[in-house]
Chains A and B, each alone.
Chain A
Amino acid sequence: MNVWQAGLLATAWALGGMTALALAMDRHYTQWKAADEVPVATRRCLRLCGAVLLAAVWWPAVTGWSVTMSSIFVLGFWSLGALLTVAGLALSPRWLARLATAAASLGGGASLWLLAR
């Protein structure tokens, strides 16, 4: 995995992870869906997806750079993902949810393709 692939993948998963965590909160879920609170199962699922995606950012960080540098990159990409999430929620929560889902899935597909090569 080269640096740019690693950077794109890390950004996509950080955005996906942060968006999932945000939408698991009542305040932001109501911005996305017409509901007062997040259904329990959905909340669990979103939180799990968020945690897994954020943890997964370590993989491109280690492969693109190194174990030593990875913590710096992971913190950087988490911050970037969170800033993008906040901006997205303010602009259009619906589009943010779509974009984050697409980014996380495309990232997953791309990484499978990279692994299979």
Chain B
Amino acid sequence: MSSRDVILGRVRRAIADVRQDDTPYEQAVDRSYLREHGARSVAETVDLLAENLADYRAVVHRCQAGELAATIAGLLTERGAETVVAPVGLDEAWLAATDATRVPDRLGSTPHELDAVDSVVTACAVAIAETGTIVLDGGPDQGRRRITLVPDHHICVVRVPDQVVSSVPQALERLDPARPLTWISGPSATSDIELDRVEGVHGPRTLEVVLVSDQARAEVSS
């Protein structure tokens, strides 16, 4: 008998006390917990995102759509970044103002090559205000998971308010489980030594989040 059969057989015998007409899954769980915590306007939700990102030591910047290229170029210059890796589907205009040499997100590039890159710029799939989290789903403007992992400096652009949700339940609704997801709340951190928080053990030590608002859209919706 295979171990599969052994284990499944043991499970069946172990739960023989469970009645056959046991409550189906749909009724087994009381989902009276909240879909989001507190009532906020759209602007307040974005403010909360900025606040919680900063609380987790991400560096938060805000700008209008027209200023994005200049903002990103400024951040790269400030960092002294000479090379920047960007996913294939990233809006070309975002990197139009920087002098940093662009490194493509190639299948063949080795982790060692990535390790030599100064910065990475990506978009995101969704951002969660209540927890200060950005989520990447490997889409064309976010690239392979490793490009936001190996370089030491990550600039992530969040379109507000479109890409912002309040809560974890709302974020999961928007995400596709078939895609590989990376949830990022602040830069890499450890508290393993006497519970002293230290940023950056393996992931990027600096996370900068640019909240870019589409002025035209904001006016329409207000």
Tell me, yes or no, whether A binds B: no
